[in-house]
Structure 1
Amino acid sequence: MVKSSRIVAVVDDDESVCRSIKRLLLSAGIGAETFVSGEDFLDALSAIPSFFPDCVILDIQMPGINGLEVQRQLAPRALPVIIITAHDDITVRERAIASGATAYLRKPFNGSDLIKAVELALGSGPGQ
């Protein structure tokens, strides 16, 4: 199990998805903070210097700044990014992976698959 001091940022414009993922992560002993837009998340990163999540779960399709743009802006921080999306597009998938996404999951996804992806992104997966 991942140390509880680890925090994952969940960025999805669907509040119910944010709540569900947060509950799932908490059940696995992983802390989570949720954001309903890319702008809110990026603003929190700029405004709160002590806020530095260990991993980010990003939805692709959001109003305003989409997940791929958030991922691009996060690149200098070297944060592990897991992409989640309801609209699987091979071009988008390839772009996300090429930009460093550690996982790409299509909604609806299996909760255990997301937990495994988060644990691997945090460097605490099986055999780590």
Structure 2
Amino acid sequence: MVTVTQIVAVVDDDESVRRALKRLLHSAGVNADTFASGEAFLDSLSSATSSVPVCVITDFELPGIDGLELQRRMIPTGVPIILISGKDDPAVRGKALAQGAAGCLSKPFNGDELIWAVQMIIGLPQKAINP
């Protein structure tokens, strides 16, 4: 049986982005696991001891399984997805939102916006990380 944890999964092919998002989430009291690809994240879910994260933050543009395909594959789990991108493409953003994305942010984005979205999704009290 798969269980949901209070861990947010961060999927981005850029190591510095993964590291920065993990630190940002940690500063708000949110635990995060990071993955360099959609495939690595999905492989982690197939492990018998793995649990499903409470939220996934993923880049739109990933090699192999991109953010939209990852979102499509996660729909049956009901896990909310926040998509991030360095390119603000209204058509792609519209498709992600139509598929049920919890949010779409363009890089560079305000860290407080991401934290607020994650806090809303996982039910943590809203508090600014930079008062």
The TM-score normalised by the length of structure 1 is: 0.91
Contact 1:116 / 1:125 at 8 angstroms: preserved in 2?
no
The aligned residue for residue 110 of structure 1 is 110
Which sits farther off after the overlay, 84-93 or 47-56?
47-56
The aligned residue for residue 91 of structure 2 is 91
Contact 2:8 / 2:33 at 8 angstroms: preserved in 1?
yes
The aligned residue for residue 78 of structure 1 is 78
Indicate how the Cα distance of structure 1 residues 42 and 89 shifts in structure 2: closer, same or farther if over 3 A, else same. same
Stretches of structure 1 lacking an aligned partner (at least 5 in a row)? none
Contact 1:80 / 1:122 at 8 angstroms: preserved in 2?
no
Contact 1:45 / 1:51 at 8 angstroms: preserved in 2?
yes
Contact 2:44 / 2:50 at 8 angstroms: preserved in 1?
no
The TM-score normalised by the length of structure 2 is: 0.89
Stretches of structure 2 lacking an aligned partner (at least 5 in a row)? 127-131
Matches of 1:13 and 1:108, distance apart in 2: 16
- Over aligned residue pairs, what C-alpha RMSD do you find? 1.2
Indicate how the Cα distance of structure 1 residues 76 and 106 shifts in structure 2: closer, same or farther if over 3 A, else same. same
Matches of 2:125 and 2:60, distance apart in 1: 24
Matches of 1:56 and 1:21, distance apart in 2: 12
Is residue 2:5 matched to residue 1:14?
A: no
Q: CA deviation at 1:48?
A: 4.1
Identity %: 55
The aligned residue for residue 62 of structure 1 is 62
